[in-house]
Amino acid sequence: MNLESRFIDAGGITTHYYDVGSGPVMLLIHGGGAGADAYGNWRDCFPILSQHFRVIAPDMVGFGRSDKPSPDTYVYDQPGRNRHISDFIDAMGLDDVILVGNSMGGAAAIGATLIKPERTQRLVLMGSAGLPIPERASPQLMHNLNYDFTVEGMRRVIAGLTAPGYQPPEELVQYRYELTIDPDTKAALAAIVAETRKGTLNFDQALLTTIKQPVLVVNGKDDGVSPVARAVRFLELFDNSWGYIVPHCGHWAMIEHTDDFCDIVLRFAAMELAS
């Protein structure tokens, strides 16, 4: 699928994004692992979801082809990513949006909804960050936090993000590795990891209960980064929430089980809700 790169100023951050399809808007927000960006996370979902929606997928600040401000002048914490995604929605003039976020992108979807709840129609949180479960970083997450900027290190990152037995395409390994090796990206990623270790990804749980939009919580049954226990807690906190657990799946349902993931997202997006 041919994807045209586009750029827009979002709150002073030059932001790279893809925009395909037509109709109601579905905004896809990628995760925060080493080498993550909109294309690598969502490339297999674009041709499926764009048959029914206008699909927009930005690179978060510090990732992909978006700006990577110096950590000397910019704090790479979750509140900053929340503002960036909120500013991106403003800059694009979007409203009544379905937000779909994976991992750190799920936290950004939550954060943007809390900033301006009137713009979010529905939320899909897949392996989402945002709650302190587990209390300590898992061995799978440590592969990402300890990434050493080598190809073999990237293989370890991907192994930690996927279910046992998953074999990533070699070009995906190389693509994600090459996204991490320029100096500005290295500096941004180091700052993101440092802030992640402080726990800034997590929200006050009482604040999460104020979100009343319909929420679909998707989780891989074998996700070692964001375990099923976190998904269950999200379901307890969100009044209007549905859960979908994918067997033989790690942290990357959109990559490991693309058809299944897209199918449940489309069914949720089309679901008639009781008034």
CATH label of the domain that carries residue 83: 3.40.50.1820
Q: Is residue 1 domain-resident?
A: no
Q: Is residue 155 domain-resident?
A: yes
Q: How confident is the model over 140-156, as pLDDT tens digits?
A: 878 888 899 999 999 99
Closest alpha carbon to 124 in 35, 204, 219: 219
Q: Is residue 180 domain-resident?
A: yes
- How far apart are alpha carbons 107 and 212 in whole angstroms? 16
Q: In a 10 Å sphere around its CB, with 0-12 CB exposed, 13-18 middle and 19+ buried, how is residue 165 labelled?
A: exposed
- How far apart are alpha carbons 155 and 148 in whole angstroms? 11
Task: Note the pLDDT of residue 272.
Answer: 80
Q: Is residue 226 domain-resident?
A: yes
Which three-class secondary structure state does DSSP give residue 112? helix
CA-CA-CA-CA dihedral for 45, 168, 106, 46, to nearest 10 = -10
Catalytic residue among 30, 84, 143, 251: 251
Q: What is the mean pLDDT of residues 49-58?
A: 98
Task: Note the pLDDT of residue 274.
Answer: 57
E-only strand ranges, 38-114: 54-58, 97-102
Q: Is residue 219 domain-resident?
A: yes
Q: Is residue 275 domain-resident?
A: no
Cα distances from 38 to residues 20, 88, 179, 219, in angstroms, run: 13, 14, 12, 19
The mean pLDDT of the chain is 95
Q: How confident is the model over 168-224, as pLDDT tens digits?
A: 999 999 999 999 999 999 999 999 999 988 888 999 999 999 999 999 999 999 999
Catalytic residue among 50, 66, 86, 103: 103
Identify the domain containing residue 201 by its residue range.
6-270
- How far apart are alpha carbons 223 and 93 in whole angstroms? 35
Three-class SS of 162-222: CCCCCCCCHHHHHHHHHCCCCHHHHHHHHHHHHHHHCCCCCCCHHHHCCCCCCEEEEEECC
Give the number of domains in the chain: 1
Q: Is residue 192 domain-resident?
A: yes
Tokens 């319909």 sit on residue: 214
User: Is residue 90 pLDDT above 90, yes or no?
Assistant: yes
Catalytic-residue membership of 103: yes
Catalytic-residue membership of 257: no
Catalytic residue among 50, 223, 241, 257: 223
Closest alpha carbon to 36 in 257, 193, 221: 193
Q: Is residue 73 domain-resident?
A: yes
Q: In a 10 Å sphere around its CB, with 0-12 CB exposed, 13-18 middle and 19+ buried, how is residue 64 labelled?
A: buried
Catalytic-residue membership of 223: yes
Phi, psi angle pair for 39, to nearest 5°? -65, -50
For the entire predicted model, the pTM comes to 0.96
